[in-house]
Amino acid sequence: MTGWLAQKVVHARDADDHVTLDYDARFLRRKVLTTDGGAQLLVDLPKTTSLNAGDALETSEGTRIGIRAAPEPLLQITGDDLHRVAWHIGNRHTPCQIEADRLLIQRNHVMADMLAQLGATVTEVTAPFTPEGGAYGHGRTHSHDHSAEHGPGAHTHEH
């Protein structure tokens, strides 16, 4: 097979091939990808979609292309007060992978400095990144300004 057209997202059981993408590349609507097996795949989804490791793209022929999270440069955050640190990360609408003994965020020197000032241990690592979804358990969070331009009561977190 030299090329496929994928137009829907399903769970990745019994995938025929895979694509390995970093966090930013897993947010797409229409794009040509090359699978890990070397096939070309045109993704043409009805709307921009956040794909997670474990999802799959399904072609009109029924071929399933599983999604894998690629290792990427991250900051690993550890320390005694991860709840407080997580609050500060969330307050800045920064995507965060939450684990029992560490938090992971994309590398950002400003965040690293702030977290270190809060007493966290910040270490550069390379790992797959699968942050928590939005406030309602799905989708992505997007960084944005909390300035007065939103106006009183206008901030809905729907982007």
Regarding whether 93 and 41 lie in a shared domain, the answer is no
What CATH number did the domain enclosing 36 receive? Answer: 2.60.260.20
Helix (H) or strand (E) holding 75: strand 71-78
Report yes or no on 86 lying in a domain.
Answer: yes
Regarding whether 111 and 87 lie in a shared domain, the answer is yes
pLDDT value of residue 60 = 84
What's the total number of domains in the chain? Answer: 2
Q: What would the pLDDT profile of 75-131 be if each residue is shown by its tens digit?
A: 999 999 999 999 999 999 999 999 999 999 999 999 999 999 999 999 999 999 999
Regarding whether 25 and 8 lie in a shared domain, the answer is yes
3-state secondary structure of 86: helix
Between residues 4 and 48, the one the model is more confident about: 48
Report yes or no on 57 lying in a domain.
Answer: yes
Q: Which domain range does residue 120 map to? A: 72-128
Report yes or no on 151 lying in a domain.
Answer: no
Residue corresponding to tokens 């790992």? 127
3-state secondary structure of 158: coil
DSSP H helical ranges for 1-155: 82-91, 109-117
Regarding whether 13 and 57 lie in a shared domain, the answer is yes
Q: Residue 155 is encoded by which pair of tokens? A: 């901030």
Contact status, residue 106 vs residue 139, Cβ threshold 8 Å: no
Would you list the DSSP string of 29-56? EEEEEE-TTS-EEEEEEEEEEE--TTEE
- pTM given for the model: 0.77
Query: Taking Cα atoms as reference points, which of 80, 108, 78 lies closest to residue 94?
Result: 108
Regarding whether 83 and 65 lie in a shared domain, the answer is no
DSSP 24: G
Of 18, 53, 69, the position where a domain reaches its end is 69
Regarding whether 89 and 57 lie in a shared domain, the answer is no
Report yes or no on 138 lying in a domain.
Answer: no
pLDDT at 45 over 50: yes
Q: What would the pLDDT profile of 115-151 be if each residue is shown by its tens digit?
A: 999 999 999 999 999 998 765 445 554 443 333 333 3
Regarding whether 61 and 104 lie in a shared domain, the answer is no
Regarding whether 41 and 63 lie in a shared domain, the answer is yes
